[in-house]
Structure 1
Amino acid sequence: MPNIVADIKDVLSLHVVTNVLLSVTYYLLKVYRPVCEYLFDDCFLELKEWEWLTFLGCIIVIKGRRKAAFLDYVATACMFAKFLNGFMLFRTSPIYGLAYFLVVLLHTIVLPKPVYQGPESITYFRGPHLQDELERDKRITWIVAFYAAWSPQSVTFAPVFSEISSLYRLDNLQFGKIDVSRYPDVGKMFNVDSSSWSKQLPTVIVFENGKETNRKPFISPKGTVVRYKFSKDGMIADFDLNNIYQRCKQNPLKGHKEKKDTDVTTEKKEN
């Protein structure tokens, strides 16, 4: 189950802390004496600057209201705040603005956003063997990610799926992945477009009793793809993973022996 201690460590990571500091740089420089006296004409925010900050707050609320994860919300707020910081510093002096943007760039390079590097419990399917596995034992709930190695969104999503697989896997709740760029026929079988202009990569589908019960992004009745931004907390909520986990845990498999198949590989990364 989700680890609260790990979530706190993520919030207090050096990347997040420095990102927040960069987001309030202009305010700190403008009001903190004697720095403000050296860099600016006065040590007070102008009315126009307060208006910009208020407008920034409105944008952050609007853009961030769909963020399921707190860290995603913080990242969005910091991104817009840094743009405003850079603009106000550049307005004061182009040298200040360029220096600030250089620091932001160095921060992105030296202290990038941390990604999950822990264990995973994922079955990597090849070709039609996904369908065979779904039909082999319908007592097993499968959560399968359809991805493409060339898709930036799939690459970004990979650590999220790995972490969730490690947290929630049971004998009767298992996680799988299949590269539909290598096996487009499988993607077509499950109505996942694997073309280079696809809006469905990655797609995650939940199979219960061998049948699809949920997917993200889903396809509307009009046939259009309703875009979905994957995050750890978003997946847990939107796929109802906590309830699925509890149901599976209360109904464990009896006498279950996992089938070994040369065309199906399971990879587990240890800490």
Structure 2
Amino acid sequence: MRSASHVSCVNSSSRGVCDSVFACGTMGLITGLFAFLYHLPQIYKWLLKPYYIASFLMTVAFLVVRKAPGLCEHLATQREDGNSCDFDWREVEILMFLSAIVMMKNRRAITLEQHIGNLFLFSKVANVILFFRLDIRLGILYLAMCVAFVMTCKPPLYMGPEYIKYLSDKTIDEELERDSRVTWIIEFYANWSPECQSFAPIFADLSLKYNCTGLRFGKVDIGRYGEVSQRYRVSTSPLAKQLPTLVLFQGGREIIRRPMVDSKGRAVSWTFNEENIIREFNLNELFQKSKKLYKSRGENREEQNGTQPEEDSSESAAVNPDQPTESKKDQ
């Protein structure tokens, strides 16, 4: 005999709870589907890439196995009605817990890639638990597929328009010291970091809006150049949560960085969205000062030469994203 706390969903009262929970889960899935369809025109270019196709298939793997005709009849189940082609109460609990975790994580997500990445990540974790609970052999097989996926399939890098100079361990100091009047905003990143990959389009958009002769944007891959990581005190450890790190340099000296780092070497929580960066780094004021400074210098030079001042080519390139950028992604 089971205790009252373990009454099956077959009972009328428990069945009502199950139906209610399942209805909530269904509504959540429908909402997510409509959100996905709404953003489909923006993501169709990268949606069919191998990384996202494989992630989607692994996300729905348990659902397919549990519902597939001809296969689900042979699976184990804890339902008292013996229907092995439907979710039991524990599976519904796990799926609802997954939905809650994804919603909480996505509250801090900024881009669509981050939302989808969180869904894929936690869905894989839930699938591991569900498959091990269903059959240890299926659990081991799915876990092996997850390991193979992580080792062989990487998220596609952002390749959109930008006006960013990619720096190396040899060029970063040269650029910072080349002209003391130039302000640099440099992102320290690593290609393996999902946070850095999600932030890439935001930083690229800022470079298109604010890049000018006196305000430059740069990136350095400290996952590749470990010496730069030590020199500028940016930890690549996932536990430190310092990736990505944005640092503003004026006259070759660091003025501000985000996120800040506490006494234990861990990053203070900070949201990398466009509004926060514009406000914290005072980009509007920096942009106007940089334009005025170099415009006045250009006018004085042209007056001395007796010619008409020309428009700053780098500012023109920053405004027009169709022009070639300074990106050096092959470094």
Number of positions where the alignment pairs a residue of Structure 1 with one of Structure 2: 245
The answer as to 2:158 corresponding to 1:116 is: yes
Within a 5 Å distance, the mapping from 1:1-271 to structure 2 comes to 7-40=43-76, 42-116=84-158, 121-122=164-165, 124=167, 125-127=171-173, 130-131=176-177, 133=179, 135=180, 137=181, 140-145=182-187, 157=196, 164-165=203-204, 168=208, 169-177=211-219, 182=227, 192-193=232-233, 199=240, 203-206=245-248, 214-219=256-261, 226-227=267-268, 234-240=272-278, 244=283, 248=287, 251=291, 253-254=294-295, 255=298, 268-269=327-328
Per mean C-alpha deviation after superposition, the further-off stretch among 121-130 and 85-94 is 121-130
Q: Please, what TM-score do these two structures have when normalized by structure 2?
A: 0.55
Distance 1:162 1:182, change over 3 A: farther
The residue identity in structure 2 corresponding to 1:87 is I
Superposition deviation, residue 122 in structure 1? 1.0
Superposition deviation, residue 236 in structure 1? 3.0
Structure 2 CA distance, aligned partners of 1:104 and 1:52? Answer: 19
Q: In structure 2, list runs of 5 or more residues that go unmatched.
A: 1-39, 77-82, 299-311, 315-324
RCO comparison, higher one (Cα < 8 Å, 6+): 1
SS in 2 for 1:89: helix
SS in 1 for 2:247: strand
Structure 1 CA distance, aligned partners of 2:107 and 2:117? Answer: 13
SS in 2 for 1:113: coil
The residue identity in structure 2 corresponding to 1:227 is V
SS in 1 for 2:69: coil
1:262 corresponding residue in structure 2: none
Residues 152-192 of structure 1 show CA distances to partners (whole Å, capped at 9, x for unaligned) of 8789848955983585244343113577964799x5xxxx5
SS in 2 for 1:144: strand
Distance 1:227 1:155, change over 3 A: same
Superposition deviation, residue 47 in structure 1? 1.3
Distance 1:52 1:210, change over 3 A: same
2:306 corresponding residue in structure 1: none
| 8 Å contact from structure 2 (residues 158, 197) kept in 1 | no
Structure 2 CA distance, aligned partners of 1:157 and 1:80? Answer: 19
Per mean C-alpha deviation after superposition, the further-off stretch among 154-163 and 25-34 is 154-163
Distance 1:174 1:155, change over 3 A: farther
Q: In structure 1, list runs of 5 or more residues that go unmatched.
A: 259-265
Q: Please, what TM-score do these two structures have when normalized by structure 1?
A: 0.64
Q: What is the RMSD computed on CA atoms of the aligned residues?
A: 4.7
Superposition deviation, residue 245 in structure 1? 7.3
Distance 1:155 1:13, change over 3 A: closer
Q: Which structure carries more helix by proportion?
A: 2
| 8 Å contact from structure 1 (residues 127, 183) kept in 2 | no
Superposition deviation, residue 216 in structure 1? 0.9
